[in-house]
Structure formats: structure tokens, C-alpha cells
Amino acid sequence: MDQNAKKQAVAKAAIEYVENGSIVGVGTGSTVNFFIEELGKIKNNIEGAVSSSDASTKLLEALGIEVFALNDVSNISVYIDGADEVAEHKHMIKGGGAALTREKIVAGASTTFVCIVDDSKRVPMLGKFPLPVEVIPMARSFVARELVKLGGDPEYRQGVVTDNGNVILDVHNLEILNPRELEQSINNIPGVVTNGIFALRGADIVLSATDTGVETYK
């Protein structure tokens, strides 16, 4: 099975977690794009969505799914999103698509986070995928120097401005032995909006598409 077929399979499996009449939290990325297509097929069963990016909002609206502002919503039962890496304890690296901050917010506001990946994303330890860090533009060089002190090699993601008007540093060569601790340490650097480690609020359920079917980790 090729990677796109796996993404499609896991997107279909995620529909099981969508409750009738609910507002669904929707992540960002190519795997989620397949999920949005599936959501379109059952759009009459849901009230709408809260989106984690302008890109996902456009796709949702194009399918006639109402997109609510998070401030207008009191309860999101399930948040569905992809990841760049998933390790033990359902800790993840996210932000390959530069949407990490809104993703972390919507994930935090949701009761259940269902992470949808193909099996290429499953890793024994986080850190091979360069860790995205969203940074206020004026703090870019300072934050980069602080990240070097933490043992990483930050690289400015040229030409990318996030939906929040900020920039991304991708940090290479980090050994992420303690994801919760590193998530906190990086977030404590002044000028960092957030970083792509999702460990303090990891996934509740990981659905992983393999050649033989979709595996569920709870």
C-alpha cells in the first residue's frame, strides 16, 4: 500500500470517533486533508468544525462545513490531527506544516485527541524530524542562540510566515530523551510562541495505517 493509500485509510478510520451533532476539531496537513474529505461525506451529521489553520478552514468551507471560531465554542469532543513523528506515550513532533501553535491550542481545548498517521511516522525516540519552533520575528536570532545552548542546530525556515504572522526555526540534531521537560524548556525561552513537541498534552489515541490495516494505540 502506498503512503497516500495509508493516509486515506487512517482518515476513514478516524470518522468512527466523530460524534453526531458535534463540533469537530480539525488539524492540518496532507493526512488531515483526507480526513476533511471524509468529513464532507458526513457533514449533515455534525454541527461544524474548529480549524487549526487557514488552509484547513478553506478546505472545510469549500465542502460546506461551517467553521466556528474557538472563542465561540465551549466544547470540542474530538480533535483529529496528523503528526510528523509519534513515539512512546503518544508523544509527538508536529509543525511540519507550520500550524503547530493553533494545533496545540485546539488540541488543548479538546476532550480527546486522535492522532492519525501512516506507519512511517512511528519512531522509537522523537528528534530525527527537525523540531519546529514558532518564534516572534524580532526574537529569531536570540531564540536560535538559546536553542544552540540546548544542543540543537536551528535552521530558519525561509519564506514561511505562520498564520499568526511569526517565523519557524527547525531544530536539527536534538536528542529528545525527556519530551515533556524539553517542551517546557523551549517554551520558556522569551520569544518562543510554542514548539512542536506535543508531550504535555499528547494524543489520547493513535491510529496508524500499516500495509495490513489500521492499528489503534490507546
- The H or E element spanning position 9 is helix 3-14
Instruction: Identify the helix (H) or strand (E) that includes residue 181.
Output: helix 179-187
Is residue 103 part of the annotated active site? The answer reads: yes
Binding site annotation covers 110?
Answer: no
Q: Between the CA of residue 187 and those of 129, 151, 217, what are the distances in Å?
A: 18, 15, 28
Q: Using the rule CB under 6 A, which residue among 26, 78, 98, 143 binds ligand 5RP?
A: 98
Binding mask 9-48 vs ligand 5RP (x if CB under 6 A, - otherwise)? Answer: ------------------xxxxx-----------------
What does the alpha-carbon distance between residue 200 and residue 147 come to, in Å, rounded to a whole number? 19
Tell me whether residue 84 is annotated as binding.
yes
Question: Rounded CA gap, 144 and 135, in Å?
Answer: 9
Query: Among 6, 55, 84, 147, which residue interacts with ligand 5RP (rule: CB under 6 A)?
Result: 84
Output 82 or 191, the one with its CB closest to ligand 5RP.
82
Residue 188 one-letter amino acid = N
Q: Which is nearer to ligand 5RP, 98 or 207 (CB)?
A: 98
Counting contacts by CB under 6 A, is residue 202 touching ligand 5RP? Answer: no
51 binds ligand 5RP (CB under 6 A): no
CB of 172 to ligand 5RP, least distance (A): 16
Q: Phi and psi for 156 in degrees, rounded to 5?
A: -70, 125
Q: Which residue has the cell 513537541?
A: 197
**Which residue in the list 85, 103, 134, 146 is annotated as catalytic?**
103
Strand, coil or helix: what is 109? coil
* Residues annotated catalytic, as ranges: 103
Binding residues for ligand 5RP, rule: CB under 6 A, are: 27-31, 81-84, 94-100, 103
